[in-house]
Amino acid sequence: MRIAALALLLIACEGRDQPHASATPSGPAADCTLVAEVLTSFELGNYASIEERRPKIAEWRAKCEAQKLTKEEGDCILDAKRERDLVYCPRSLMFPPYKLTAEGEVISGLPPECSKYLIGLERYTRCHGLPAEARASIASTVAQMRRNWSMFSEQTPMPPAVAAACKQGNDAIRQAMVTFSCD
**Is a pLDDT exceeding 90 seen at residue 71?**
yes
What burial letters (b/e) apply to 61-89, b meaning 16+ CB within 10 Å? bebbeeeebbebbbbbbbebeebeebbbb
Residue at which a domain ends, from 44, 61, 88? 88
Please say whether the beta carbons of 69 and 25 come within 8 A: yes
Range of the domain at 62: 32-88
Question: Do 104 and 77 share a domain, yes or no?
Answer: no
Average pLDDT over residues 35-46: 91
Evaluate whether residue 75 is within a structural domain. Answer: yes
Give the model's pLDDT for residue 170.
92
Give the model's pLDDT for residue 27.
76
Residue at which a domain ends, from 44, 65, 88? 88
Evaluate whether residue 163 is within a structural domain. Answer: yes
**Is a pLDDT exceeding 50 seen at residue 151?**
yes
Question: Do 48 and 114 share a domain, yes or no?
Answer: no
Question: Do 81 and 146 share a domain, yes or no?
Answer: no
For residues 52 and 48, give the distance between their C-alpha atoms in angstroms, rounded to a whole number. 6
Evaluate whether residue 9 is within a structural domain. Answer: no
Question: Do 115 and 173 share a domain, yes or no?
Answer: yes
Report field, pTM of the whole predicted structure over 0.85: no
Mind listing the pLDDT tens digit for each residue in 95-128?
Answer: 655 555 667 777 788 888 998 898 888 888 888 8
Evaluate whether residue 3 is within a structural domain. Answer: no
What lies within 8 Å, CB to CB, of 179 at 6+ separation is none
Question: Do 81 and 110 share a domain, yes or no?
Answer: no
Evaluate whether residue 8 is within a structural domain. Answer: no
Question: Do 127 and 163 share a domain, yes or no?
Answer: yes
| Number of domains within the chain | 2
Average pLDDT over residues 161-174: 92
For residues 73 and 58, give the distance between their C-alpha atoms in angstroms, rounded to a whole number. 19
Question: Do 174 and 110 share a domain, yes or no?
Answer: yes
DSSP 96: P
Question: Do 103 and 166 share a domain, yes or no?
Answer: yes
Question: Do 168 and 136 share a domain, yes or no?
Answer: yes
Question: Among candidates 156, 149, 166, which has minimal Cα distance to 114?
Answer: 166
Question: Do 117 and 168 share a domain, yes or no?
Answer: yes
Check residues 46 and 10 and name the one with the higher pLDDT.
Answer: 46
Question: Do 112 and 158 share a domain, yes or no?
Answer: yes
Evaluate whether residue 83 is within a structural domain. Answer: yes
**Is a pLDDT exceeding 70 seen at residue 55?**
yes
For residues 21 and 13, give the distance between their C-alpha atoms in angstroms, rounded to a whole number. 20
Evaluate whether residue 60 is within a structural domain. Answer: yes
Average pLDDT along the chain: 80
Give the model's pLDDT for residue 173.
92
Evaluate whether residue 24 is within a structural domain. Answer: no
